[in-house]
Amino acid sequence: MPLAPGSTIGILGGGQLGRMLALAAARLGFDVVVLEREADSPAGRAAAKLIVADYADETALAELASFTGVVTYEFENVPASSVRWLAARGVKVAPGARALAVAQDRFEEKSFLNAHGAPTVAFAPADTPQEAYQAVLNIGVPALMKTRREGYDGKGQRWVERVADAAAAFEALGGVPVIVEAAADFVRELSAIAARGRDGTTAVYPLAENHHEHGVLRRSLAPARVSKVLSDQAERIATRVLAGLDYVGVIGIELFEMADGRLLVNEIAPRVHNTGHWTQDGCEVDQFEQHIRAIAGWPLGPTHAIAQVEMLNLLGDEAEAWAKYAAEPETRIHIYGKRGAKPGRKMGHINRVKSL
């Protein structure tokens, strides 16, 4: 460390985040090896080498380890055992096992956050229908019940409107361990994309304001219009979270802005994040290069905004309107190379850019 250009970086996962990480790594002179289950994937087609295997396949992990000294992942549900397997063989996996463990369990995550001065809504775990009932009773309704593990983009969660519905909701989520969260009466959803280098230095991008539809991010506006007090608060939270996890790489921190001006952390994602895509056209060093810099032991790059950006996700068949977007002078196009446009699937995004 630091890792020199010409070295190889491994990425677990072949989706769009892996693809954009691979493109950023290539620009800096790195080769990328992707380990991914599917033979045909967005990141696989942008990498120097592709290993097709399950993320827990030890032969594949050994092959990955033979190529590369640094491995990262593009999604937080990669098996913790794979990360431990690689780390035990001297491969530097970043972000590390601690970040992954915290991010993979919503109860661990919120417990960690509160313990490190990053406030959240009230919450309680429940492993049985009885505990679920008690948790909803304690938290109050409406409450949001989520599986502790897995789930993304609104999947694996449901609202509980009446205490009497708690046990049924628990069963509907599969009878697996859950977390019950108080409803956050927020005025705005924001997010902080932050990075921490191997030397412990941190850098936080300007906040993004995010709008979701049906549990999926629709658009981000960045830099969000926020007071200095608010952005300082976000920076404090980000710094505490990064230090608490002894983190290396880029993290996405989803925030609720409350009516009283407080920020609560909704969730953290130990990876580059959809709400950070605006940095590709709004910053000198985007979140993808920043992540590669961090895990490679390079100094972090600048995070200030050089433009005002509206990021719009292209879901399902919306990416078919690429020709319209290509004709807009202010619009930068990012399309992921996914083969099938299922409804709601993230196929690409655009960044509409205005001068600050």
For a copy of itself, the binding residues (CB under 8 A) are 2, 4-6, 19, 23, 26-31, 45-46, 48, 281, 284-285, 293, 298-299, 301-302, 306-307, 319, 322-323, 326-327, 329, 332-337, 339, 348, 353, 355
Instruction: Report residue 212: phi and psi, to 5°.
Output: -105, 155
Smallest separation (angstroms) from a copy of itself to the CB of 199: 11
Taking the C-alpha atoms of residue 295 and residue 146, their distance in angstroms, rounded to an integer, is 31
| Residue with tokens 């800096």, as numbered in its chain | 28
Smallest separation (angstroms) from a copy of itself to the CB of 147: 33
- Choice between 125 and 197, CB closer to a copy of itself: 197
Taking the C-alpha atoms of residue 65 and residue 96, their distance in angstroms, rounded to an integer, is 16
Smallest separation (angstroms) from a copy of itself to the CB of 183: 39
Smallest separation (angstroms) from a copy of itself to the CB of 121: 38
Sign of CA dihedral 17, 20, 23, 27: negative
Taking the C-alpha atoms of residue 269 and residue 95, their distance in angstroms, rounded to an integer, is 10
Smallest separation (angstroms) from a copy of itself to the CB of 274: 16
- Choice between 210 and 303, CB closer to a copy of itself: 303
Residue closest to 291 by CA, chosen among 261, 239, 227, 247: 247
- Choice between 146 and 352, CB closer to a copy of itself: 352
Residue environment code for 260-291, b if the CB has 16+ CB neighbours within 10 A, otherwise e: eeebbbbbbbbbbbbbbbbbbbbbebbbbbbb
- Choice between 252 and 348, CB closer to a copy of itself: 348
- Choice between 151 and 301, CB closer to a copy of itself: 301
State which amino acid sits at residue 206.
Answer: P
